[in-house]
């Protein structure tokens, strides 16, 4: 079906995308299911720049099921190798059995994961906007990847670096700091019995 959904960003730009792309977002899906006669969905909180990035992500994920959050099961109909040859409804059991054994499906999923990891190797500002957009639009995969991108920035850095990156202010008094240190001193060595 070539049905398209029109989305209007916060600064008035209109994006027209296919249903499969737009329905990655649960919010858009439920808004479109309601009686929207003119198919135009306004998204006041998302800028056009961010929305285009989000839609790029959604386009890539449109034809494969949610690889990050749900059980990564590709139904037989979507498998690149077994195009159309598998019959029957794609219940989760048969599809999971299929993708466990199908090498082509596995490769497709891995490629998608690689693409996603590259997608979030961007500066923190953009990741921040992607996080907010994914939260607002409720796109599970984008949420997962944006969270991964943000965690990459935090992992393995000193407190000063983290403070600089994220522009945090230390609002603890010295007494409170000592309290926390005392309370959580066991955290420093998790292997201690």
Kindly list the distances between the CA atom of residue 36 and the CA atoms of 9, 31, 44, in Å, as whole numbers in the listed order.
17, 8, 17
Interface residue with other proteins, options 92, 107, 114, 115 (CB under 8 A): 92
98-137 footprint of other proteins as x/- string (CB under 8 A): --x-----------------------xx--x--xx--xx-
Asked if 37 interacts with other proteins (CB under 8 A), we say no
Interface residue with other proteins, options 21, 24, 26, 102 (CB under 8 A): 26
Asked if 31 interacts with other proteins (CB under 8 A), we say yes
Asked if 164 interacts with other proteins (CB under 8 A), we say no
Nearer to other proteins, 58 or 146 (CB): 146
Tokens 């700091």, residue located: 177
Kindly list the distances between the CA atom of residue 178 and the CA atoms of 163, 174, 185, in Å, as whole numbers in the listed order.
19, 6, 10
Where in 4-23 is the site for other proteins (CB under 8 A)?
A: none
CA 2 – CA 136 distance, rounded (Å): 26
Query: Which H or E element spans position 30?
Result: helix 26-33
């Amino acid at each position: 079906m070539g049905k398209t959904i029109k989305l209007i960003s916060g600064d008035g730009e209109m994006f027209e995308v296919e249903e499969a792309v737009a329905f990655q977002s649960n919010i858009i899906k439920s808004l479109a299911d309601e009686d929207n006669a003119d198919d135009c969905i306004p998204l006041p909180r998302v800028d056009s720049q961010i929305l285009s990035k989000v839609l790029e992500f959604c386009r890539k994920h449109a034809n494969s099921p949610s690889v990050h959050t749900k059980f990564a099961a590709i139904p037989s109909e979507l498998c690149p190798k077994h195009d159309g040859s598998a019959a029957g409804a794609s219940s989760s059991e048969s599809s999971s059995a299929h993708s466990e054994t199908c090498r082509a499906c596995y490769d497709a999923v891995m490629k998608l994961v690689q693409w996603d990891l590259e997608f979030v190797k961007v500066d923190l500002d953009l990741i921040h906007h992607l996080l907010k957009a994914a939260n607002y639009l409720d796109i599970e995969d984008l949420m997962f990847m944006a969270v991964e991108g943000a965690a990459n920035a935090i992992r393995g850095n000193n407190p000063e670096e983290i403070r600089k990156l994220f522009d945090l202010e230390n609002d603890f008094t010295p007494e409170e700091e000592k309290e926390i240190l005392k309370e959580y001193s066991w955290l420093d060595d998790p292997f201690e019995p």
